[in-house]
Amino acid sequence: MPIVQISRIQHRRGKATDLPQLAAGELGWSVDTQRLYIGNGTVSDGAPAIGNTEIVTSGSSAFTTALTYVYKGYLGDSTPIVTGATGDVTRTLQTSLDDYVSVKAFGAVGDGSTADVVAIQRAIEELYSDTDQADARSHRILFFPAGTYNIATAIKIPPYAHLRGEGPDKTILYQSGGNTPVAITEDNNGNTFGSITTTAPTQIQIEGITFKNGEAKGGVSIDNATQVTFRNCKFLGTYSAGGADAPNSKGVTVQSTNALRCSNIIFDQCQFTKFARLVDLDYDVTNVNFHNCDFATAYYGALIGENTDGTTAGLTIGPRNIHFNNNSWSTIGQQAIKVMNASGSVYPRNVNSNGNWYALDIANNFEGIGSIREVPILQFDADECSSTLDFFERTDLRRTDNSSELNMAPEVQGIARYSNKIKQITLADNTSTATSTTLEYPAGSGNLGKSIVLNYKIERGTTVRVGQFTIGVSTNGINYNDDYTESNGDAGVTLTAVIGREDSTSTDKTVIVKYATSSASANATMDVEVTSIV
């Protein structure tokens, strides 16, 4: 290679085969291979070895290697795995990175002020909706790095969308003033509710995103959609405790037509807060499940079937098979779950609450414990509803510290089956006079009645009794029946039931279970599970 000098910079250029030992810091450019080298210098100067070091360029082998990817496993180069049948599978870096795409690759910023809706919608349409994206391989996960993405209109979510953020209050879609929900569903041609006629939005998955609305509007409207899952998401509005109802402020809702009904919607580990109605379901929808969620700060928790009328398109049968499992509820002015039968003949069905925790500050109109405006925590005015193994911090009985106070509203009211967890009480030995237990139940008001069934087991010494104590309450009074079997003798326990703390004005009633025992030198232990038709 001949020496070339430009001003004070000296370098060599020529063919790779002619590359000599370069002086310390001297550059050598291989014209035929388009590769660049620099001289190491001598060992006495401190170089680790005499020779030339290649500077990475697009023509160097090192750069080519850097642009390819081979999966090596968690041990890396020390013990690489073999990825192919006869050797490693090598992919380009571009192909590897394209397995996962960020909205920032489409121009979204997420700084809370930049208008990001156009960039986000472009990313969604390119991945899931464009007509040239029919190939399933185009449906990559769309990643939203932590940040606040300012939008001024609803994000439209098409079939097969899979949106993933970094978690609630970290990745936030913020509707800042568009008079719309934060997000709605659409078909793969961009049609939204009212224009979706043949293709339902389906197979939608959304994870780790907060849907925040800065107006008294909705969180997400799931329209004509099936197979939709929200996991670890948050729905955040502007409602403040003590405020009035606002029908347009809905955390989540659905819309259906007769031809395309919503179905199979799951919310898992989600948070719903600061909407007047955290959940609002009127339209025809089947199989909606809320698991391990938190509902807080609202006028209504879940309002179901308010506008189902039996005739309007999409409102003909109402919500059905709606399940709330293992959730927590707090700071809700009215009912946590209210199921309505607006039409009188067509209504929601099979709404179930199981294993939920209902805090003390629910259904008292934000007025505190003992408010005269208390309403039932669960109001079921439709068929086939139930409450099973729920825990209510608020009591539904008359408070014993004030005998003139009216009965509180019942925990569960309407057409429903209500089952409590098993509890254990002690029945004292040699109690000849009927004595009150801690088993007390609201018996209804006015002409309303109630059926109460106690499935129980009594153990006293070696004697065991297993039975069912049935109580009926009506305007004619109270009746009861104890049907049981015993082993190893007579337990010597007599169960009765009376009406107690009845109010002369409202005729609210409380059923009190009483007992008497024989003298057997041993107390009795009673395990009891209560089921009530309210």
pLDDT tens digits for 376-390? 999 999 888 999 999
Q: What is the rounded CA–CA span in Å between residue 358 and residue 378? A: 10
Are the C-beta atoms of 233 and 206 separated by less than 8 Å?
Answer: yes
Q: What is the mean pLDDT of residues 116-129?
A: 94
Q: Which of 61-65, 358-362, 428-432 has the lowest mean pLDDT?
A: 61-65
Q: Which among 290, 229, 279 is positioned nearest to 254, based on CA atoms?
A: 279
Residues near 225 by Cβ (< 8 Å), separated by ≥ 6? 185, 200, 201, 202, 204, 254, 262, 265
Report residue 483 as tokens. 């049907």
How high is the mean pLDDT of the chain? 89
Q: What is the rounded CA–CA span in Å between residue 317 and residue 384? A: 14
Are the C-beta atoms of 316 and 258 separated by less than 8 Å?
Answer: yes
CB-neighbour burial class of residue 453 (10 A; exposed 0-12, middle 13-18, buried 19+): middle
Q: Which CATH class is domain 423-533?
A: mainly beta
pTM reported for the whole predicted model: 0.82
Q: What is the rounded CA–CA span in Å between residue 385 and residue 49? A: 82
Task: Tell me the per-residue pLDDT of 15-67, one tens digit each, with 9 for 90 and over.
Answer: 988 899 998 889 999 999 888 999 998 888 888 889 999 888 777 766 666 67
Are the C-beta atoms of 49 and 55 separated by less than 8 Å?
Answer: no
Rg over alpha carbons for the chain, rounded to the nearest Å, is: 35
- Look at residue 264 and tell me whether its pLDDT is greater than 70: yes
Q: What is the mean pLDDT of residues 419-440?
A: 92
- Look at residue 404 and tell me whether its pLDDT is greater than 50: no
- Look at residue 517 and tell me whether its pLDDT is greater than 80: yes
User: Domain-by-domain residue ranges, the chain?
Assistant: 3-55, 423-533
- Look at residue 399 and tell me whether its pLDDT is greater than 90: no
Are the C-beta atoms of 456 and 527 separated by less than 8 Å?
Answer: yes
Are the C-beta atoms of 286 and 309 separated by less than 8 Å?
Answer: no
pLDDT of residue 403: 44
- Look at residue 400 and tell me whether its pLDDT is greater than 60: no
pLDDT of residue 56: 80
Residue 3's pLDDT band, with cuts at 50, 70 and 90, is low
Tell me the CA end-to-end span of the chain in Å, nearest whole number: 99
pLDDT of residue 322: 98
